[in-house]
Structure 1
Amino acid sequence: MQALITFFIELCLLRRPPQDLPASDVLLAMVLVTDLIVGMLVGMTAGLSWIEGFLQSLVEVALMLTALYLTLKQLRLAQRFVQSGTALLGSGTLLGLIALIPLSLNPTGSETTDLATLGAFLLLGLIIWGVVVTGHILRHSFGITLGQGAAIAIAFEIFAVTLVTSLFGGA
């Protein structure tokens, strides 16, 4: 387990590519469950109920994995799905756990404090880093540049936030 955590840390530091992960459906399922739990915790920390946080996380993960699979299939690279999906979910889990820290400073609250402002800046930095990490994973998965991967990550994030907001309201 520690080797897996170390791998995801190194992946988020752009030191490891997703193809270094074993192509394991069991590992993908484990990381999927963990990512959904962390997504629920992030939602709860941001002020959502546990069910809203879980459902939003579920929609975003389903959208991400579907888009990843369809794109890899279109590029005739479907054999990369398990490793790429595991890498995206694992890095998302790690970054989600880290996001609990700035979110606990209440950067989305109505009251502006120095701690909330710090939390907002830390959260913004984490979002930017998440785009870079996703770009890194997509670069290796699709055989594109880091910039192209980051652009895809930004476009996907805008689409996902728009969809989740339209489905669940402004939260």
Structure 2
Amino acid sequence: MQALIKFFVELCLLRRPPQDLPASEMLLGVVLLADLVIGVLVGITAGLSWLTSLLQGLAEILLMLMALYAALTQLKRRPRFLQTATALLGSGAMLGLVAIPPLSLNPTGSQESDLAALGAFLLLGLVIWGILVTGHILRHAFSITLGQGSAIAVAFQIVAVTLVSSLFSGV
């Protein structure tokens, strides 16, 4: 377990490629569950209900996995799916854990404070870092540049946030 956590830390530091992960459905399931649980914790810390956090997390994961599977299949690289999906979910879980302390500073709350501003600044940095990590993973999955992978990550993030927030705006 410690080696797996170390791998995901190194992946998030752009030191390891996703293909260093074993192609394991069981590992994908464990990492998917971890990402979902951490996503719910992030949502609760941000002030959402646990149910809304869970539904949003499920929707985001489903959207990401479907888009990844479709793209890899279209480009005839489907054998890379398990490792790429595991890397994306595992890095998402790691970055989610790191996001909890800045979120606890209430950066989206109604009261302005220096701590809230610090939390917002740290969250912006995490969003940018998450885009780079996703770009790094996509670079290896699709044999493209880091810039191209990051551009895909930004586009996907915009689509995912728009879709998920419109789906759950009344929840």
Q: What TM-score comes out, normalization by structure 1 length? A: 0.99
Matched, 1:40 2:64: no
Q: Superposition pairs for residues 157-168 of structure 1, below 5 Å? A: 157-168=157-168
Match of 2:64 in 1: 64
Q: Tell me how many residue pairs correspond in the alignment.
A: 171
Question: What CA distance in whole angstroms lies between the structure 2 residues aligned with 1:73 and 1:104?
Answer: 40
Question: What CA distance in whole angstroms lies between the structure 2 residues aligned with 1:168 and 1:85?
Answer: 24
Question: What CA distance in whole angstroms lies between the structure 2 residues aligned with 1:54 and 1:97?
Answer: 16
Matched, 1:31 2:15: no
Question: What CA distance in whole angstroms lies between the structure 2 residues aligned with 1:25 and 1:165?
Answer: 29
Question: What CA distance in whole angstroms lies between the structure 2 residues aligned with 1:159 and 1:110?
Answer: 27
Match of 2:114 in 1: 114
Query: For 1:134-155, what per-residue CA distance to the aligned partner results, in whole angstroms no more than 9, with x for missing partners?
Result: 0000000000000000000000
Matched, 1:155 2:155: yes
Q: Percent identity?
A: 70
1:170 positional shift: 7.9
Match of 1:131 in 2: 131
Amino acid at match of 2:7: F
Question: What CA distance in whole angstroms lies between the structure 1 residues aligned with 2:103 and 2:20?
Answer: 31
Question: What CA distance in whole angstroms lies between the structure 2 residues aligned with 1:110 and 1:65?
Answer: 35
Query: For 1:24-76, what per-residue CA distance to the aligned partner results, in whole angstroms no more than 9, with x for missing partners?
Result: 00000000001000000010000000010011011000000000000000000
**CA RMSD of the aligned region, Å?**
1.0
Question: What CA distance in whole angstroms lies between the structure 1 residues aligned with 2:22 and 2:162?
Answer: 33
Amino acid at match of 1:32: L
Question: What CA distance in whole angstroms lies between the structure 1 residues aligned with 2:41 and 2:133?
Answer: 21
1:169 positional shift: 1.1
Match of 1:143 in 2: 143
1:5 positional shift: 0.1
Question: What CA distance in whole angstroms lies between the structure 2 residues aligned with 1:169 and 1:16?
Answer: 37
Question: What CA distance in whole angstroms lies between the structure 1 residues aligned with 2:123 and 2:170?
Answer: 18
Match of 1:85 in 2: 85
Give structure 1 stretches of 5+ with no counterpart.
none
Question: What CA distance in whole angstroms lies between the structure 2 residues aligned with 1:98 and 1:20?
Answer: 23
Question: What CA distance in whole angstroms lies between the structure 1 residues aligned with 2:78 and 2:167?
Answer: 29
Question: What CA distance in whole angstroms lies between the structure 1 residues aligned with 2:27 and 2:18?
Answer: 13
Question: What CA distance in whole angstroms lies between the structure 1 residues aligned with 2:70 and 2:164?
Answer: 20
- Point out 4+ residue stretches in structure 1 off by more than 4 angstroms: none
